[in-house]
Amino acid sequence: MTFDLRFYMALLFRRLPYILAILIVTGIAGVYMAFSIPETYRAEARLLFENGQIPDELAASTVRSTADEALLSVQQRLLTRSNLLELASKFEVFKGVPNITEDIIVNQMLRRISIYMPPLMGNTGVVTVSFDAGDPVLSADVTNALVEQILEQSVELRTAASGSTLDFFQQEVKRLTDELAVQNSKILEFEEANRDALPESLAYRRARQEAQQERLTLVERELAGLRDRRQSLVDLYDRTGRLAASVGVLTPEQAQLETLRQELASAVVVLSPENPRVKALKLQVTALEEAVKEQLGVAGEGAMTSFDLQMADIDGQIEFLVEQRQEIEAELTDLRASIEKTPSNSIMLGELQGAYENTQVQYDQAVASLAEARMGDRIEVTSRGQRITVIELAVPPTMRAEPNRKLISATGLGVGMLLSLGLVMLLELLNRTVRRPAELVKSLGITPFGTIPYIATMEELRQRSVTRRNLIAAVAIFVPVALYLLHVTVMPLDTLASAIAQAVGLGPNVTLATPEISG
């Protein structure tokens, strides 16, 4: 089946009144909306996001946020409910609007504010700030107030971050200083309590132990020799009554006693102890010994004999060596105990020193970080780090930003054309009558020899004309009445026009859902 252009053109002319009616209504509505939407002015200010002025190799700031992060932090503080209400109240943005709630004020302020930053170039970017308002002066004033708040918030955020970093490392250095003092005190107390069993003196104590062991052996040997000598002298004195053959000048009684002792010694070798000769010699020796003792007692009363002197000397040496042995044994006991205790002390001391060294490492790192934090805080306080500067403040615009009346009017006509096209298609789909030979063939399955068009009477033509005129008149009367009733009973038409424009994306910037940052 070929495309029948004449048929569709005839069909279009037949439906032309409906199409014109729809186009007229939508065109009037589009023009009305275009001129009903309030004019919106948008004042813009430009800010520059700059890198730090001091290279990081020389001195780095402690604030490491990127441009997007910094601007997002500023934006979140800027767009708080309290700040938006304060801005709206300060500049009387909604002056004269009755019965407006705080939620609507906040929502409208969020929609009117725009903060935009394109992709960064070398960590440097231009930030555009704008505010939409019906008054150009109000738009510029609010925009400049937003710029001022952005600058203040940026400085406050960066100085607060650097200040908190500095405060943290100051507290950390103080804490580690106190901890080092505590650890050092524990080490000193432990060393003082175990100064005789510390690992650094272990080699000395072992050498001392060996030396004292050798010394103890020598003392034992000397002590044994002195005890043998003393016993020998005692035995000799008991046998002979004297210490040696030549001990000074003898008295006659002593000389006689010495002679009798020699005779007695010779007789005892030859004769038995029961021999009268031996007994007689013993009695004489005993008598002379008593006489010699009396002589010695009278002549040297108060003085010590040679035997007593030697015995006292030997006893003194023995007593001295005994004391030395006791001291050496006590020292060896202490040395043995300290050597046995040294391994456990070494482990404990190692743990204390290890904790001290770990704390010292942390302290050194904290001191270095504190120096960096002080430098970074100084950089932020003097505004030498990353910062936002004003390139251009907002000025009252002379041209409106919204609405685009030509576009809205053209959109009304476009909507009318779509509606009329839809109506024509709907009417054709609902019309099942046979109007062309092709439809006859399709419906009945026969091929006609010829077709005769329907010839309307004058009465039918007049009736159709009256019907069209009545329909056009009804539309022309109904549409204004419906718009008036809508304006009076439901919603003002200008408000409705703004809402519809926002819904289709043709309204002013207030239609933005939320201000955003692009970067």
Is there a single domain that holds both residue 53 and residue 117?
yes
Whether residue 31 is found in the same domain as residue 46: no
Say which residue, 459 or 103, is predicted with more confidence: 103
Do 387 and 418 have their domain in common? no
Q: Check residue 3 and give its pLDDT.
A: 60
Separation of alpha carbons 345 and 182, rounded Å: 19
Report the pLDDT value the prediction gives residue 125, as an integer from 0 to 100: 73
Q: Which residues pair with 402 in a beta bridge?
A: 40
297: number of Cβ within 10 Å: 11
| Percent of the chain residues topping a pLDDT of 90 | 3
Q: Would residue 221 count as lying in a domain?
A: no
Distance CA 170, CA 156 (A): 20
pLDDT confidence band for 402 (50 / 70 / 90): confident
Q: What average pLDDT score do residues 357-364 get?
A: 90
User: Does some domain include residue 193?
Assistant: no
Number of domains in the chain: 2
For residues 191-206, average pLDDT: 84
pLDDT digit string, tens, across residues 387-399: 777 888 888 888 8
Among 59-68, 156-165, 308-317, 413-422, the least confident range: 59-68
Range scoring the smallest mean pLDDT among 14-18, 322-326, 474-478, 511-515: 511-515
**8 A C-beta contact, residue 58 and residue 451:** no
Q: Which residue has the higher pLDDT, 183 or 252?
A: 183
Residues 18 and 80 in one domain: no
Q: Does the pLDDT value for residue 366 go beyond 80?
A: yes
φ, ψ for residue 66 (rounded to 5)?
A: -80, 175
Model confidence at 239, pLDDT cuts 50, 70, 90, reads low
> Shortest CA distance to 47 belongs to which of 126, 154, 130?
126
| Mean model confidence pLDDT for the chain | 76
User: Other CB atoms closer than 10 Å to residue 305's CB: what's the count?
Assistant: 16
Residue 450 lies in domain: 5-36+405-492
Q: Which residue has the higher pLDDT, 88 or 453?
A: 88
pLDDT value for 300? 46
Q: Is the pLDDT reported for residue 215 higher than 80?
A: yes
CA geometry: angle 169, 175, 178, nearest 5 deg: 140
Q: In this structure, are 72 and 148 located in the same domain?
A: yes
In a domain, 223, yes or no: no
Q: Are 128 and 46 in contact (CB under 8 A)?
A: yes
Average the pLDDT over each of 85-94, 307-316, 353-362 and give the range with the smallest value.
307-316
Q: Could you give the CA distance from residue 131 to residue 377 in angstroms, rounded to a whole number?
A: 34
Residue 318 amino acid letter: I
Question: Residue 415: which pLDDT band, with cuts at 50, 70 and 90?
Answer: confident
Instruction: Dig out the tokens for 153 from the structure.
Output: 């918030």
CB atoms within 10 A of CB 222: 16
Q: What is the dihedral of CA 175, 176, 181, 183, to 10 degrees?
A: 120
Q: What is the mean pLDDT of residues 462-467?
A: 80
Q: Is residue 302's pLDDT more than 60?
A: no
Tell me if 285 is assigned to some domain.
no
Burial of 139 per CB tally in 10 Å (0-12, 13-18, 19+): buried
Compare 465 and 61 and report the one with higher pLDDT. Answer: 465
Residues 6+ apart with CB under 8 A from 70: 49, 154, 157, 158, 386, 388
Environment class of 284 (CB within 10 Å of its CB; exposed 0-12, middle 13-18, buried 19+): middle
Q: What is the mean pLDDT of residues 365-376?
A: 80
439/7 Cα distance (integer angstroms) = 12
List, as one string, the DSSP characters of 293-343. Answer: HHHHHHHTTTS--HHHHHHHHHHHHHHHHHHHHHHHHHHHHHHHHHHHHHH
Confidence band for 8, pLDDT divided at 50, 70 and 90: low
Indicate whether 120 and 165 sit together in one domain: yes
- Which residue has better confidence, 323 or 451? 323
Is 126 strand, coil or helix? Answer: strand
Residue 268 in any domain: the answer is no
Closest residue by Cα to residue 116 from 101, 136, 131: 131
Q: Are residues 150 and 61 in the same domain?
A: yes
Q: Is residue 237 situated within a structural domain? A: no
- Predicted pLDDT at 248: 47
Q: What's the pLDDT score for residue 94? A: 85
pLDDT at residue 514 is higher than 50: no
CATH code, 152: 3.30.1890
Distance of CA 246 to the CA centre of its chain: 101
Q: Of residues 352 and 272, which shows the higher confidence score?
A: 352
Residues 204-214: pLDDT tens digits?
Answer: 888 988 998 99
Q: What are phi and psi of 9, to 5 degrees?
A: -65, -40
Q: What is the mean pLDDT of residues 90-99?
A: 84
Domain end, chosen from 365, 392, 419, is at 392
Residues 45 and 167 in one domain: yes
Helix (H, G, I), strand (E, B) or coil at 457: coil
CA gyration radius, the chain: 64
- Of the three residues 392, 427, 454, the one that is the final residue of a domain is 392
Region for 230 from its dihedrals, namely left if φ exceeds 0, alpha if ψ lies in -120 to 50, beta otherwise: alpha
Residues 96 and 23 in one domain: no
Q: Is the pLDDT of residue 509 over 50?
A: no
User: Is residue 487 located within the same domain as residue 443?
Assistant: yes
pLDDT band for position 511 (50/70/90)? very low
In a domain, 476, yes or no: yes
pTM over 0.85: no
User: Phi, psi (5° rounding) for residue 133?
Assistant: -155, 160
Query: What's the rounded mean pLDDT across residues 125-154?
Result: 87
CA distances from 433 to 427, 440, 446, 494 (A): 12, 10, 16, 45
| Residue 254 token pair | 């002593």
Q: Give the least confident one: 41-50, 169-178, 411-420, 435-444.
A: 435-444
| DSSP for residue 119 | P
Q: How long a stretch of residues is the chain?
A: 519
Q: What is the mean pLDDT of residues 310-335?
A: 85
- The helix (H) or strand (E) run that includes residue 426 is helix 405-430
Does residue 409 sit within a domain? yes
Question: Looking at this protein, which amino acid is placed at residue 135?
Answer: D
Q: What is the pLDDT of residue 268?
A: 72
pLDDT at 351 over 50: yes
Q: Which helix (H) or strand (E) holds 132?
A: strand 125-133
Ramachandran angles phi, psi of 52, nearest 5°: -65, 150
Q: Quick one: pLDDT band at residue 127, thresholds 50, 70, 90?
A: confident
Residue 297's pLDDT band (boundaries 50, 70, 90)?
low
Provide the pLDDT for residue 449.
66
User: How far is residue 296's CA from residue 241's CA, in Å, rounded to a whole number?
Assistant: 13
Whether residues 32 and 103 share a domain: the answer is no
Domain identity same for 154 and 110: yes
| Residue 149 pLDDT exceeds 80 | yes
Both tokens assigned to 293: 């003792």
Number of H helices and number of E strands within the chain? 14, 4
Q: Per-residue pLDDT for 517 more than 50? A: no
* Confidence grade of residue 56 (pLDDT, cut at 50, 70, 90): low
